[in-house]
Amino acid sequence: MAGFRTHITVSTVCGIVYGAAIKPMGFDPATAFLAAGVTGVGGMLPDLDSDSGIPVREMTGLAAAVLPMLLIPRLTNAGIGHEAMIATVVLIYFVIRYLGAYLLRAASVHRGMFHSIPAMAIAGLVVYLAYDSPNVKIRLALAGGVMIGFLSHLVLDELYSVDFNGVRVRLNSFAGSAVKFVSPSWFGTCVCYLMLGGLGWLAFKDSQQYLK
Ligand SMILES: [Zn+2]
């Protein structure tokens, strides 16, 4: 399977291409840059299930820093004060950084449902819901970015499960374990689809504001 460095490199390149591609569609440079960054992060998300400490530590640290920032417009809209906002951001940081990392280690199986197409959709929905903006295009661009990064990871993991052995191409034991819709664990699969359904419903409710 592809290593941490390969994943970051590929998703960052995807992010730069994505940011450059969407910029002419009426996005300002800062938004295009943010979309590129979210794409880069998306490429690291599937390995949150990995038990080797470094990726989990790096990524929960990053998620802990980035997610509260994405929430700032939503917190501002909620009308809470400056101090309360800082307190909320700090609290979210610690919850993700420590409790989140603990739960991930306890609950996940490497190459389980974190490496799947529904998990990619969940990542997109989380970004869409977290980032509140009157401009739905920005929310969709960021959600699209994280999903592109996520997909780049899944595809890379699949590619790395192919051994090019002279002219014979052979699949190793990880083949088919990244770009998938269900995992051998029915429990993991059910939890994943329940989350997808719940977030999909929330996003549907949330999108009603744009139809008024
Ligand atoms: Zn992976």
What is the C-alpha to C-alpha distance for residues 107 and 99, in angstroms, rounded to an integer? 12
Span from the CA of 134 to the centroid of ligand 1 (angstroms): 34
* Assigned token pair, 51: 């038990």
What is the C-alpha to C-alpha distance for residues 73 and 54, in angstroms, rounded to an integer? 31
Show pLDDT as tens, one digit a residue, over the chain (212 residues). Answer: 567 788 889 999 999 999 999 999 999 999 999 999 999 989 988 888 876 656 677 778 888 888 888 888 888 888 888 899 899 889 999 998 888 878 877 777 777 888 999 999 999 999 999 888 889 999 999 999 999 999 999 999 888 876 555 555 566 666 667 889 998 888 889 999 999 999 999 999 999 988 87
Distances (CA, A) of 136 to 4, 29, 91, 202: 32, 17, 28, 15
Span from the CA of 160 to the centroid of ligand 1 (angstroms): 10
Give residue for tokens 């490497």.
110
Collapse the DSSP code of 167 into the 3-class scheme (helix H, G, I; strand E, B; otherwise coil) and give the result.
coil
Helices (H), 78-159: 82-94, 101-107, 117-130, 136-159
* Short-list 189, 188, 191, CA closest to 199: 191
Span from the CA of 212 to the centroid of ligand 1 (angstroms): 41
Domain holding 88, by residue range, is 4-210
Span from the CA of 96 to the centroid of ligand 1 (angstroms): 20
How many structural domains is the chain composed of?
Answer: 1
* Assigned token pair, 205: 């409710």
